[in-house]
Amino acid sequence: MNLSVINKDGQNTGRSVSLPESIFAITPNEHAVYLDVKHHLANQRQGTHKAKERAEIARTTKKLKKQKGTGGARAGSMKSPVFVGGGRIFGPRPRDYDFKLNKKVKDLARKSVLTSKATEGKISFLESVNLGTPSTKDFIKMLEAMSLGGKKYVFYTNGVNSNFYLSGRNIPSVTILPIQNVNTYDLINTDVIVFEEGTVEILQTILS
């Protein structure tokens, strides 16, 4: 599959990019995508949640009432979870949510999403854009001129492009990342994927 390269004015440059079948034409594996997204979201969790349990509550341990004859259950401490202000039963504790996921599964997941997006026609290529100064206004004009037909966009640049990143970071519907940071979650959580010209070769190296 060949895709045309467009410029920031939305015009065809006359150049095209050939999409390698090993990345953009495989049989998608939905379970691999699920595992990789789950892994990504798990790594975003701090895991610093904590609630005080019975042993950590500062309340009296004086016996509240006599053992028998009250008609109610026995009670020996105000720390008991059955009382208001008592400790929490099996409360959350600090933990690490990370789990092991093989690199081949992560690669398969990214290839699966890229294949699906290519099949749906949701991949575009943009020639290298060198903005003299950061300008969100110019970035919005570029989006309008490109007419990509989506509500959410992810741009993958050839390395770190500071002015390009600073121009688009304030737009809620736009994500800008170096191609080295390609991940399944960002690929699947977008309407249109825009690659900067020259990034496919790097992508092949990453997913080889």
User: % helix / strand / coil in the chain, to the nearest 5?
Assistant: 35, 15, 50
Whole-number average pLDDT of the chain: 91
Distance CA 2, CA 17 (A): 5
Residue spans in the chain of domains classed CATH 3.40.1370.10? 2-45+99-206
Of 34-48, 62-76, 126-140, highest mean pLDDT: 34-48
Is the model more confident about 14 or about 108? 108
Is residue 154 pLDDT above 90, yes or no? yes
Whether 173 has a pLDDT exceeding 80, the answer reads yes
Which is more confidently placed, 26 or 161?
Answer: 26
pTM score of the predicted model: 0.82
Distant-in-sequence, close-in-space partners of 197: CB < 8 Å, separation ≥ 6: 5, 15, 17, 125, 126, 127, 128, 158
Query: Residue 171 region, left (φ>0) first, then alpha (ψ -120 to 50), else beta?
Result: beta
Give the mean pLDDT of 203-208.
90
Q: For residue 55, what pLDDT band results from cuts at 50, 70 and 90?
A: very high
The beta strands (E) that lie in the chain are given as 2-6, 12-18, 123-126, 153-157, 174-178, 192-196
Which residues sit opposite 4 in a β-bridge? Answer: 16
Class of domain 2-45+99-206: alpha beta
What are the residue ranges of helices labelled H in 66-161? 103-119, 136-146
Per-residue pLDDT, averaged over 90-112, amounts to 95
The answer on pLDDT for 188 being more than 90 is yes
Residue 130's pLDDT band, with cuts at 50, 70 and 90, is confident
Phi, psi torsion values for 162, nearest 5 degrees: -60, -50
Q: What is the pLDDT of residue 186?
A: 94
What's the confidence (pLDDT) of residue 29?
A: 96
Q: How many helices (H) and strands (E) does the chain have?
A: 7, 6
Which strands make up the sheet holding 174-178, listed edge to edge?
Answer: 12-18, 2-6, 123-126, 192-196, 153-157, 174-178
